[in-house]
Each structure stands twice: as structure tokens, then as C-alpha cells.
Amino acid sequence: MIARSLLPFTLLAATGAAAQTPAPAGQPLGGPVIPGVCLLSREAIFANAAVGKAASTRLQELTRAAQAEIDAERKPLETEAKALEPLPDNAQNKPKREALATRWQALQAKAAHNSREIEATRAKVLERIANDAQPVIAQVYGQKKCGLLFDRNTALGGNFTNDLTADVVRTLDAKVTTISFERERLPMPARSGTPAPAPAKR
């Protein structure tokens, strides 16, 4: 259905977004601090840093605008489809139904295209934030005298004293707090000549 063709895009899923490590279920493993071994969650950095939150808000705005484009074109097609439903499938009405099906197909293609543009925008923004975060990560890594860095989200347990995530978020916030961008524009794919079926009666 066109109504749900665009889904809201945020920078990250809810999982792994907390800046602090959640307590593991059951008995915590704990253990000694291992000198030089550090942990980091890039997902938590993107989700909790001010620039990540600003980017997520902007992406939601762009997603709503892209959906509004589809909604505005969908409503008259639904009205036309509803008007054609009770009419007989004769030589007079068949061309109208075929034309409507073609327009539905075009709108479906546009909705999919809008989704791809939002996703391309999200990927580009994540890359920009990652580039800003990389020197900060290197700075904190050096300050903590790390010799090895692991993805925190892959750790099953242990001592998380050397988790750099919160320090990186604070340092990144001091460096940048917002980001400006517009929706990426992608070339429209070639349209197929095969009409899609008209929407089913609700």
C-alpha cells in the first residue's frame, strides 16, 4: 500500500543506543580491569551525541516531507478508485481502470524512490558524523592509554571500566552539536510499462 511505503528513518535503532552499558541479565561477570584494553560503542555515540540527535531530528523532518508528497498524490487516486468500484467492467470503464492502475504504479515507484533517497541521506549523514568522531575517538584512546579497542556491543561481559563511549560523546559535544543537510536526490529508474493492479477495496 502506498500509505505505508515510506517508513521513518532514524540514525539508529533503539537497540544499543544507551550511552551507558546496560546491566547484563543474571550474575554480572565483572573481573579485573585489563590495562590497555578498551571498549567503544559507535552506535551509542551516534545516538547520544548532540550532533547525532540533531541529525536524527532532521532526518525525521525529511522523512515526513517525503511521505507528505506521496500522501498528497495518493488521496485523489483513492477517491477515483472508490468511484470506479461499483461501475461495470465494460469497454467504457476498462480504459479508466487501466489508466488508474498505471498511475498507482507510478506512485508506488515514487514512494520507493523517496525511501531510497531518505536512506541515502541517512547513510551520508552517518558518514559525516563518523568522520567528525574519528579524531575524537583517537584523542580519548590516547588519553586512556589504550592498546586495543573492541566494539562494546560484541562483549558478552566483563569489566567495562575502560569503556570510552561516554568520554567520546562529551568530547564530541564540545566539538560539534548540530549538522545541516538536505535530502539526497537520486536519478529516477526507468519506468516499467506493465501496469500495477488498482488498490483493493478496503
pLDDT for position 16: 38
Confidence of residue 14 (pLDDT cuts 50, 70, 90): very low
Three-class SS of the chain: CHHHCCCCCCCCCCCCCCCCCCCCCCCCCCCCCCCCEEEECHHHHHHHCHHHHHHHHHHHHHHHHHHHHHHHHHHHHHHHHHHHCCCCCCCCCHHHHHHHHHHHHHHHHHHHHHHHHHHHHHHHHHHHHHHHHHHHHHHHHHHCCCCEEEEHHHCCCCCCCCECHHHHHHHHHHHCCCCCCCCCCCCCCCCCCCCCCCCCCC
The reply to whether the predicted model has a pTM over 0.85 is no
pLDDT for position 30: 77
Q: In the chain, where are the structural domains located?
A: 11-17+29-175
* pLDDT reading at 44 higher than 90: yes
pLDDT digits (tens, 9 = 90+) for 117-172: 999 999 999 999 999 999 999 999 999 999 999 999 998 888 899 999 999 999 99
* pLDDT reading at 25 higher than 80: no
